[in-house]
Amino acid sequence: MSKYKSFIPDSGDGNAYIKREFVLTKKGGNEKKNVTGEILSAESENINATKLESKHTKARGQNKRRPRPQKEKLEEKLCPSKITDEGTCTFGDKCKYLHDISDYMKIKPSDLGEDCFSYRKYGFCNYSYACRFAGDHVEYNPENGYSNVVDEDMKSKQYVPVKNVLSRDLQLSLRKRKVGFNRTETALKGISLEQEKRRKCAKDESNDIDNNDQKTGTLSSVNVTHDTEPDNSVSTESNSGCVLDSDVISLRPPEKKKIDFKNKLYLAPLTTCGNLPFRVTCKRLGADITCGEMAVATNLLQANISEWALMKRHPSEDIFGVQLCGAFPDTMARCAELLNKTCDIDFIDINLGCPIDLIYKKGAGSALMRRSKKLFDITTCMEAVLDIPLTCKLRTGIETGKNNAHSILPIIRDCNVALATVHGRSREARYTRVADWNYIDKCAQAADPMPVFGNGDVLSYHDYYSALDNTSVAGIMIARGALIKPWIFTEIKERRDWDISSSERLDLLKNFVNEGLVHWGSDTRGIATTRRFLLEWCSFLHRYIPVGLLEHAPQRINERPPYYFGRDDLETLMASPNCNDWVKISEMLLGKVPENFEFLPKHKANAYK
Ligand SMILES: Cc1cc2nc3c(=O)[nH]c(=O)nc-3n(C[C@H](O)[C@H](O)[C@H](O)COP(=O)(O)O)c2cc1C
């Protein structure tokens, strides 16, 4: 087993993929490299934050030396057992946290505001005494001391918990390898039987041809040997010949759940920025489909808590998928079977587009675009173990000028993949070129009747309808367009340019922050995490140019915004590319930053100090 403690950003504009503990299992390997260990996914921030630095992983466009959040001292924090009202602390004398609530209240930093969002909306606050808005729900009585108020009636009526939280039991079962994967085992047997049959078929066919040749005295055709196909070529399976297991698998009865994806507004999977509070913000503004940040299959199988946090689903996410990344049919299928069994998810997406070297070199992400047989096995096995649709997200190809998505799409279509999304750029191009919508159109035609969504450079309803009307795509996925102006979903649905005011934009940020405080916590650490992800989002948000100030609408995504003054001070502040100004915006919502606070976004391109 090889363990890579790393995860890696995209380049240029979107330093898209973020470091997380990353484990790819490969049978027979015994190498152990600890390359990096930075944790940057939205959820993992809560769990751990190890530092890294390695010349081997120097990723393009990333602010590697940016400051890390300061940690609180344990002896100044309240023991979690006191926060959750679980009662006694199981660590006894060894516990380093504070246990006396009165002692804690004396040294606790002052409240940041009077209204606790969670308490006001749901009648309770999970962070009780540690909440930085605790004045709203913590009472003091000289006889009984401090108590945290819970409105049980409101709680039962208003609160719907997030789904797909990793339970302690499942975590233990996974760690002790006590989870069974029967469907995967059957599917894997299916593909190995099939490989055997295919080899036998090829042998028989070549014998027949040889015999015929001997009989007729002609030379046989030379292009029948699939086994010698180079790794970067795309094989198309023959429709004739013996019946293979894949044919049987593809004839499974239509008991699978179906989703009508057509013309739905799809918010792209976005590592770090596409966290749950952001997705909730986009849902409110009109997104139809949401997808979690890319998760590494092997990490999920090992019950990695930060990876499992990416599975969480908010009640408002009515069409919700998760995206998996992996290189092997066994791990990908096991992971799919596990999620199918234990989570409430509407679809699973395979990441075939991740450009990052460490993923690519392990044969996952966009590398699967040049490993068509492996891809066939992965999709066949995953499809066989799922009761929900399987989808794929891919790029145009690996190298610019050598597009091959159009030849991969028929392969995955024949594996019963329900939807494919094509991002109109190659791995090599990253964000340096405009998305190739002509090629996306070609892909949509090649994949017929499987629906294809197009993805790339959509920042306005004009871009959206032009792409939809001029190509054969079944719908559009939006990534940076949603980060720069999440109200793009409303604009598309209402077919208008929304000249949104700065105060309306601030309200959107306020909503995000409120959801963040519920999700990451309203204690000191939760506030730091919420601020951190708000600031990461600001590194995209400031690129919006108000419609009312544009000489030529609509704004194009690849144009660098000019310096301009807004129509009020807040609009000017929001247009600032200086991260210190984003910190000021965060202070309007989350109070003053701690002393010596510094922030640099991950994306160097946007970090103007
Ligand atoms: C911050 C960021 C994070 C991303 N994370 C992912 C991811 O986890 N999985 C994925 O398939 N694509 C990811 N992408 C790529 C986008 O989903 C999308 O394919 C790409 O940005 C092109 O679309 P756009 O031009 O609308 O931005 C990410 C992009 C950005 C900017």
Q: Distance, CA 36 to ligand 1 centroid (Å)?
A: 22
- Clarify whether residues 336 and 478 are in a common domain: yes
- Clarify whether residues 569 and 542 are in a common domain: yes
Q: What is the pLDDT of residues 53-105, one digit of tens each?
A: 334 444 555 555 666 666 777 878 899 888 876 667 888 888 988 899 999 99
Domain total in the chain: 3
The residue contributing the CA closest to ligand 1 atom 1 is: 16
Would you say 161 and 320 are in contact if contact means Cβ atoms under 8 Å apart? no
Probe target for ligand 1 pocket from 423, 489, 538, with the most ligand atoms within 8 Å of CB? 423
DSSP line for 231-270: TTS-----SSSS--HHHHHTT--TTS-----TT-EEEPP-
Q: What is the pLDDT of residues 326-374, one digit of tens each?
A: 999 999 999 999 999 999 999 999 999 999 998 999 999 999 999 999 9
- Clarify whether residues 263 and 120 are in a common domain: no
- Residue 281 included in any domain: yes
The residue contributing the CA closest to ligand 1 atom 20 is: 479
> What's the CATH number where 333 sits?
3.20.20.70
Q: What is the pLDDT of residues 409-443, one digit of tens each?
A: 999 999 999 999 999 999 999 998 999 999 999 99
Range(s) of the domain holding residue 118: 74-158
Q: Is 354 a catalytic residue?
A: yes
- Clarify whether residues 131 and 17 are in a common domain: no
Q: Distance, CA 354 to ligand 1 centroid (Å)?
A: 9
Task: Identify the CA nearest to 456 among candidates 477, 472, 442, 439.
Answer: 477
How deeply is 128 buried, as exposed, middle or buried, from its count of CB atoms within 10 A (0-12, 13-18, 19+)? Answer: buried
Q: What is the pLDDT of residue 22?
A: 40
Which residue in the list 354, 381, 415, 538 is annotated as catalytic?
Answer: 354
**SS3 call for 545:** coil
Across 506-518, average pLDDT: 98
Which residue, 479, 494, 509, sits at the end of a domain? 494
- Clarify whether residues 533 and 601 are in a common domain: yes
- Clarify whether residues 378 and 521 are in a common domain: no
pTM (whole model) above 0.95: no
Q: What is the pLDDT of residues 151-197, one digit of tens each?
A: 999 999 999 999 999 999 999 999 999 999 999 999 999 888 877 77
294 Cβ below 6 A of ligand 1: yes
pLDDT of 267 above 90: yes
- Clarify whether residues 488 and 594 are in a common domain: no
- Clarify whether residues 363 and 425 are in a common domain: yes
Q: Distance, CA 278 to ligand 1 centroid (Å)?
A: 14
Q: Distance, CA 117 to ligand 1 centroid (Å)?
A: 31
Q: What is the pLDDT of residue 221?
A: 31
ipTM exceeding 0.90, yes/no = yes
- Clarify whether residues 524 and 603 are in a common domain: yes
Probe target for ligand 1 pocket from 265, 270, 536, with the most ligand atoms within 8 Å of CB? 270
Which residue, 158, 183, 218, sits at the end of a domain? 158
Query: Quick one: pLDDT band at residue 254, thresholds 50, 70, 90?
Result: low
Across 275-290, average pLDDT: 98
Tokens linked to 607: 């970090």
Which residue, 424, 459, 494, sits at the end of a domain? 494
Q: Distance, CA 168 to ligand 1 centroid (Å)?
A: 32
- Residue 140 included in any domain: yes
334 Cβ below 6 A of ligand 1: no
Query: Quick one: pLDDT band at residue 205, thresholds 50, 70, 90?
Result: low
The residue contributing the CA closest to ligand 1 atom 6 is: 270
Task: Identify the CA nearest to 81 among candidates 101, 61, 57, 103.
Answer: 101
- Clarify whether residues 442 and 535 are in a common domain: no
Task: Identify the CA nearest to 133 among candidates 585, 508, 520, 521.
Answer: 521
Element (H, E) at 22: strand 22-24
Q: What is the pLDDT of residues 308-322, one digit of tens each?
A: 999 999 999 999 999
- Residue 403 included in any domain: yes
Q: What is the pLDDT of residue 569?
A: 97
